[in-house]
Amino acid sequence: MASVIAIYRKNGLFSKSRCRYLTTATEGDALRKLWVAASALIRFSVMLIMQQVGLLHVHGASHGSFWRKRVFMRLAYAFGVPVIFHLHGGEFRQFVDQRLDAGSRQKVLETLQTCSLIYCLNDEVAGWLRSVLSGVAVQVMPNPVDLPQEEAPREKRDSSILFLGRLEQEKGVFDLLAAFSAIARQAPEARLLLCGVGSARAKLEKIVQENRLSSRVDFPGWVDGKEKARLLRRAGVFVLPSYAEGMPMSVLEAMASGTPVVASRVGAVPEMLENGNSGFVVEAGQLDQLAEAILAALDESRSADLSSRALARVNEYYSAKVVLDRLRWQYAKFSQ
């Protein structure tokens, strides 16, 4: 969500329209988190009383994110203000159907039922929402991505295999490292860059040492901004072998950079990559598929067309201008 909001801000949604953003969560200790949430709630309540709110657009996900935002949604409903609930994250269905007791599940569904519109990230979640709600409009709204600046230098792609994200089990990093062990024997020039932080790093480093891959696997830590853009422009392939996703920004950024993508068939990934027409889609946990797809992506003659189609798809559906124009159009409909 933070990446999406940052793109909204960068492209003028909050500065060039009558749109005000309230932060309800932050990093830090419990007291700081409580202060930020309470301050936002007080400000929102005052705006409601002063009749300064024509529409509430809530960005939420599972667990605490939903329960925190639910307070704002119920308040808006009580004041007759329409609500758009924008669902992020890849595990909301499991959160509602498997992790809540009957009473809590009912509260979630009753809150969603009061929304004027629900945005989600893929067709599967949209279908589920329509099946558990009655008469609520549900639409797929993609995440936006900034297109690379035309003046950015184009570096010659190498044989690096790039991962960007949290170094955690559910992101498939252990699968990627296992697949790389097989790839290393067939592609002597290939290198693996595991960019990110997380609890699995120490264990991953141990596996690298045990398999004598230290000269071919790097852990650059968390990268962002210009360094991330440079790595994407240079990488031979971007890989996200995750077990659960919504609409991963890293895949969109790779597509926008013209970098060949290999990603698991989770969340919105199949729709983003057109089931293999704009990138290589593999089943999560299938190491042979993963290794084969990565090797294919490193073969420029096989992946060049996929990358071109991916870039065209980003321009048509996921660019910040396209997504924000659609969002502004929807805001205008509610203000009529």
Name the residue among 71, 55, 62 with its Cα closest to residue 111: 71
Question: The whole model's pTM is what?
Answer: 0.89
pLDDT at 16: 78
Is 220:193 a contact under the CB 8 Å cutoff? yes
- Tell me how far apart the alpha carbons of residues 228 and 249 are, in angstroms, rounded to a whole number: 12
Tens-binned pLDDT, residue by residue, of the chain (336 aa)? 888 999 999 999 998 778 999 999 998 899 999 999 999 999 999 999 999 999 999 999 999 999 999 999 999 999 999 999 999 988 899 999 999 999 999 999 999 999 999 999 999 999 999 999 999 999 999 999 998 875 555 567 899 999 999 999 999 999 999 999 999 999 999 999 999 999 999 999 999 999 999 999 999 999 998 999 999 999 999 999 999 998 999 999 999 999 999 999 999 999 999 988 999 999 999 999 999 999 999 998 888 899 999 999 999 999 999 999 999 999 999 877
pLDDT at 112: 98
Topology annotation, domain 2-144+320-335: Rossmann fold (3.40.50)
Q: Where are the alpha helices (DSSP H) in 57-132?
A: 64-78, 92-98, 102-113, 123-132
Please state the domain extents for the chain.
2-144+320-335, 160-318
Q: How far is Cα of residue 132 from the mean position of the Cα atoms in its chain? A: 24
Angle at which helix 173-186 crosses helix 287-298, to 10 degrees, equals: 60
pLDDT at 155: 61
Instruction: Give the list of residues 6+ apart from residue 307 with CB closer than 8 angstroms, or none.
Output: 258, 259, 260
Q: Would you give the DSSP letter of residue 276?
A: G
Is 111:73 a contact under the CB 8 Å cutoff? yes
Is 48:4 a contact under the CB 8 Å cutoff? no
Please state which CATH class domain 160-318 belongs to. alpha beta
64 CB neighbour count, 10 Å cutoff: 12
Name the residue among 22, 18, 26, 21 with its Cα closest to residue 9: 21
Residue owning tokens 């889609």: 281
Which secondary structure element, helix H or strand E, spans residue 85, and what is its range?
strand 83-87
